[in-house]
Structure 1
Amino acid sequence: MTKGTQQYEQAPTGEGEGEGQGQVVGLKPKMTLLNGITVIVGSIIGSGIFISPTGVLLNTGSVGMSLIVWVTSGLFSMIGAYCYAELGCMIQKTGADYAYIMIGFGPFLAFMRLWIECMIVRPCSQTIVALTFSVYIMKPFFPNCAPPDDAARLLAAVCILTLAFVNCWSVKWATRVQDIFTGAKLFALAVIIITGFVQLCFGHVEYFTFENTETDITKIALSFYSGLFAYNGWNYLNFVIEELKDPVQNLPKAIYISISLVTVVYVLTNVAFYTTLSPAEVLGSEAVAVTFANRLFGYMAWIMPVFVACSTFGAVNGVLLTSSRLFYAGALEGQMPEILTMIQVKRMTPTPAVIVMAFLSLAYLGSSNIFALISYVGFATWLSIGLGVFCVPLLRYTHPDLERPIKVNLVWPILYIIATIFITVVPMIAAPKETGIGVGMIATGAPVYLLFIYLRKPEAIKRMLRELDGFIQKLVMVCKPETPASL
């Protein structure tokens, strides 16, 4: 740490100013079981359930097969979460699968996982959700046409920057935003589900068939990218495990409760959509929930885009809250710039990591093609998470002495790994361009690792980086945690 920031380590603050009065600088376990559930639910339920029905139906061809994909995606996510529960309780370090891969495979593959997640998956996912937020919040003003593209991007940028400020200011504020907006999104989905039950009671089941089901297995595999994108976020609580109270008890509880709830909600929401909308209407809709509301709610239809906007706003917050901790964990291992290890001395938040995550997300606003972005994210996500799950059997063999409060049957990680191979390899045939771009983006991590981590930096570059770190430390009042985590 530089002399310029050393004086701030124990800086006293008033109650209204911050959360770090008289405390050691570092991340604090402030999150309860309820906070953990809302982080997972809030991160999962965002844009996915409102945009993915179109992508799933497009590649399955029928309503019946699309519902099977939604259920299967939920079960697939539950198996992955079950494996992550063992890893999270065994290795209680910020960074989740990055930490697991570091122990299981070493620094190169850990860095590649970090590169994929930090440079592609997290910022791209946040951009998708922020764009969905902007489309839905503007929909009441453009009921018969798509909102202007430039306006959508600008509003998405405002959303990202606003939540970046909240996450820099206070962990309590960030979790409070998560709690409030998770409630709002569950209310919106409850309205859709209850309306769907009413429609079922009136006998509206004409679209629940397997007619026109896609026979091309590559297309079915591609449909899982959209389905699993909607469940993306089930592992996010593992990234903030150092800030979770009693993680051995609360992590598995939060995972099981959250994913079970989300799976039920997703399937029932899709059933509700298809009680009213035909497959052609779903495929032709940019905002399925809004089209659904316009058909049934009359002059009250405006409430749906408002609540969906709340849902996606909360999801952006959840992604930002957890993703910044991944940057922080990578920097502690020396695989990210040192400045990202630093904590704001008054607010006890990883401010530099939050800011970097926000600006990377803004960079992806160069494209507003949501489904292309989902393809990039899908390939990179399931490839890297599959590697994380592979750590379960690997660490059983290489580190049998590690304490395992939860121990899963090895059948589950093996099934998950096989399924991961299927949904990453087969879509290469159906969407070679998107997966090719995804592979290219991942491959850029190898020369970065070689030049900036494996090889020693010239002294002049080291000196320049130290001076830059010192300037940023003084600018935003950050310093290294006094008791940094180590793997």
Structure 2
Amino acid sequence: MGESNRENKTKKDDASSTSTSSGVKMKKELSLLDGVAIIVGVIIGAGIFVSPKGVLKFSGSVGEALIVWILSGLLSMIGALCYAELGTMIPKSGGDYAYIMEAFGALPAFLYLWVALFILVPTGNAITAITFAQYILQPIWGTCPAPYEAVRLLAAATTCILTVINCYNVKWVTRVQDIFTATKMFALLIIVIAGIYYVCVGHVEHFREPMEGTNWDPGHIALAFYSGLFSYSGWNYLNYVTEELKDPHKNLPKAIYISMPVVTTVYVITNVAYFVVLSRDDILSSEAVAVTFADKMLGSFSFIMPFFVACSTFGSLNGAIFASSRLFFVGARAGHLPRAICLIDVKRLTPVPSLVFMCLITLVLVMIEDVYVLITYVSFVEALFITLSIAGLIYMRKTNPDASRPIKVSLILPITFLITCAFLVTFPCYVSPVEVGVGIAFILCGIPVYYLTIGWTTKPVRLNKFFNDFNNACAKLFMCVPAEDDKYFE
């Protein structure tokens, strides 16, 4: 018995974890720099290299497109600050799921988890993996598109490799994230320098009438913001891993203050460079704006841009897998998913079953040929639940005014963010009614699932036995134990 106690004490000292009869906790290994790298690394993915086309298409002019990019960054910054209050008031991993649960209860939180589990997270990961595969294979096939089978196999292999890294060691994850964040920033630096050179030699013709062709229709403006905010998506991912962040009360807001202005500045300058070199028609006819830019400016060295875009998406996928797996881990710990998903590897203290489960769903979506059409659906759904989280912040100011709030933003910020999100949720309804309808329908499908799997308290004995056998089998297969759920951190 004494030897066992000494072993447990050593594990606690060395791994910053707690080992008890009820389970273990994941380690607090993420520093401020790691937090910044996760936010920047997840946000700067494929979006900035391809989505300027969508912003310009719906806004109609170069001037309005730049305004959308600036306001999208500002809106993301406001949202991130609001989430900093939520993240320090409710210091649990899981992001929106934890906040909606705290504010509005189990059913709305489950509906968010339901959508995130099958649509938001795996679809985003699948698209990022496919984009990585397309760009890394492009130099091999030249002007011809890479074969479907080759792209999907490479995307699937990449997803599996990054899942293994995430299962093995959190430090490996952050090292990969740091390296590829630096790589993608270098790629954007090349674009910016080339744009500055083009301006210096006298090319400013695309800015002579910047507001020409502006589309002032509210629905199209909202869709332009969807494209812009898609490139900023990931600003709330650090809230998914609050439990693993060192001193989160200080490092969470600091990471936001550092990363969001950096990303916004980089995005705006990069878009100015695009608009200086490429005409409106060039951008609208391009499938990958960064590659079109490189073909025009880099000449024989244009091949490096697909490589850098591939590096960018690789790092973004790594960060997304790391952060989003914690969402399902927390959902399972709360009883909204099979308990097997909240098991933790006894040696490495990583949520292996959650990572494997998410990997499997992503692999299924990678195989779907038209997976890109899901972007339109998930943009609306994601905006809807972010709106719900911010409404929860305002609601808890009234219902729980005495709660500990190490960070308390001015009430103007969440109200502004809520009004803006309501605009983004409402106005696309008449421009894209089918996509909005499908998104709402999928959310509503989660209601009967909730009552059948969670609300039904008197399940048959055989069904409960099946769930228990499944959980025990996963624990043995992955060498995992249940996580502690009494406290999240001291």
Same fold (TM over 0.5): yes
| Paired residue type of 2:467 | L
**1:117-172 Cα distance to aligned partner (Å, 9 max, x none):** 22221111111211211121122223323333332222211111111111111111
Q: Distance in 2 between matches of 1:21 and 1:234?
A: 27
Taking the TM superposition and a 5 Å limit, the aligned residue runs for 1:159-238 are 159-208=158-207, 209-238=210-239
| Paired residue type of 1:177 | V
CA displacement at 1:486 relative to structure 2: 6.4
8 Å contact kept, 1:62–1:213: yes
| Paired residue type of 1:26 | K
Q: Distance in 1 between matches of 2:443 and 2:134?
A: 29
8 Å contact kept, 1:36–1:237: yes
Q: 1:467 — aligned with what?
A: 469
**1:79-123 Cα distance to aligned partner (Å, 9 max, x none):** 111111111111111112211111111111111122222222111
Taking the TM superposition and a 5 Å limit, the aligned residue runs for 1:31-110 are 31-110=30-109
Q: Distance in 2 between matches of 1:324 and 1:132?
A: 21
Q: 1:4 — aligned with what?
A: none
8 Å contact kept, 2:88–2:248: yes
CA displacement at 1:366 relative to structure 2: 4.1
Q: 1:373 — aligned with what?
A: 374
Deviation larger for 313-322 or 50-59: 50-59
Q: Distance in 1 between matches of 2:15 and 2:201?
A: 57
8 Å contact kept, 2:16–2:28: no
Q: 1:258 — aligned with what?
A: 259
8 Å contact kept, 2:17–2:25: no
8 Å contact kept, 2:91–2:488: no
Secondary structure, in 3 states, of the residue corresponding to 2:35?
Answer: helix
Q: Distance in 2 between matches of 1:119 and 1:383?
A: 16
Q: Distance in 1 between matches of 2:365 and 2:480?
A: 27
Q: Distance in 1 between matches of 2:250 and 2:94?
A: 19
**1:208-250 Cα distance to aligned partner (Å, 9 max, x none):** 3222222432112111111101000000001101100011110
Q: Distance in 2 between matches of 1:281 and 1:127?
A: 28
Deviation larger for 39-48 or 198-207: 198-207
Deviation larger for 151-160 or 323-332: 151-160
Q: Distance in 1 between matches of 2:81 and 2:17?
A: 38
Q: In 2 relative to 1, CA 160–431 (structure 1 residues): closer, same or farther, beyond 3 Å?
A: same
8 Å contact kept, 1:226–1:374: no
8 Å contact kept, 2:333–2:485: no
Q: 1:409 — aligned with what?
A: 410
8 Å contact kept, 2:129–2:313: yes
**1:428-447 Cα distance to aligned partner (Å, 9 max, x none):** 21112222222222222111
Q: Distance in 1 between matches of 2:240 and 2:465?
A: 31
Q: 1:135 — aligned with what?
A: 134
Q: Distance in 1 between matches of 2:214 and 2:129?
A: 32
Deviation larger for 133-142 or 31-40: 133-142
Secondary structure, in 3 states, of the residue corresponding to 1:479?
Answer: strand
8 Å contact kept, 1:40–1:234: yes
8 Å contact kept, 2:283–2:289: yes
Deviation larger for 315-324 or 116-125: 116-125
Q: In 2 relative to 1, CA 22–110 (structure 1 residues): closer, same or farther, beyond 3 Å?
A: closer
Q: Distance in 2 between matches of 1:450 and 1:486?
A: 28
Secondary structure, in 3 states, of the residue corresponding to 2:205?
Answer: coil
What is the aligned-residue RMSD (CA, Å)?
2.1
8 Å contact kept, 1:248–1:405: yes
CA displacement at 1:368 relative to structure 2: 4.3
Q: Distance in 2 between matches of 1:477 and 1:21?
A: 20
8 Å contact kept, 2:170–2:350: yes
8 Å contact kept, 1:83–1:408: yes
Taking the TM superposition and a 5 Å limit, the aligned residue runs for 1:327-366 are 327-366=328-367
Taking the TM superposition and a 5 Å limit, the aligned residue runs for 1:407-486 are 407-456=408-457, 457-482=459-484, 484-485=486-487
8 Å contact kept, 1:12–1:21: no
Q: In 2 relative to 1, CA 483–109 (structure 1 residues): closer, same or farther, beyond 3 Å?
A: closer
Q: In 2 relative to 1, CA 370–292 (structure 1 residues): closer, same or farther, beyond 3 Å?
A: farther
**1:427-482 Cα distance to aligned partner (Å, 9 max, x none):** 12111222222222222211111100111222111101111111111111011124
CA displacement at 1:53 relative to structure 2: 0.8
**1:160-188 Cα distance to aligned partner (Å, 9 max, x none):** 11111111111111111111111111111
Gaps spanning 5+ residues in structure 1: where?
Answer: 1-6
| Paired residue type of 1:227 | G
**1:14-36 Cα distance to aligned partner (Å, 9 max, x none):** 9xxxx869963321110000000
Identity in percent? 48
Secondary structure, in 3 states, of the residue corresponding to 1:95?
Answer: coil
Taking the TM superposition and a 5 Å limit, the aligned residue runs for 1:296-311 are 296-311=297-312
Secondary structure, in 3 states, of the residue corresponding to 2:27?
Answer: coil
Q: Distance in 1 between matches of 2:172 and 2:468?
A: 32
Secondary structure, in 3 states, of the residue corresponding to 1:444?
Answer: helix
Q: In 2 relative to 1, CA 83–162 (structure 1 residues): closer, same or farther, beyond 3 Å?
A: same
Q: Distance in 1 between matches of 2:263 and 2:371?
A: 22
Q: In 2 relative to 1, CA 32–124 (structure 1 residues): closer, same or farther, beyond 3 Å?
A: same
**1:29-76 Cα distance to aligned partner (Å, 9 max, x none):** 100000000000011000111121111112112211111111111011
Deviation larger for 367-376 or 176-185: 367-376
8 Å contact kept, 1:329–1:341: yes
Q: Distance in 2 between matches of 1:148 and 1:296?
A: 28
TM-score with structure 2 setting the length: 0.93
8 Å contact kept, 2:138–2:306: yes
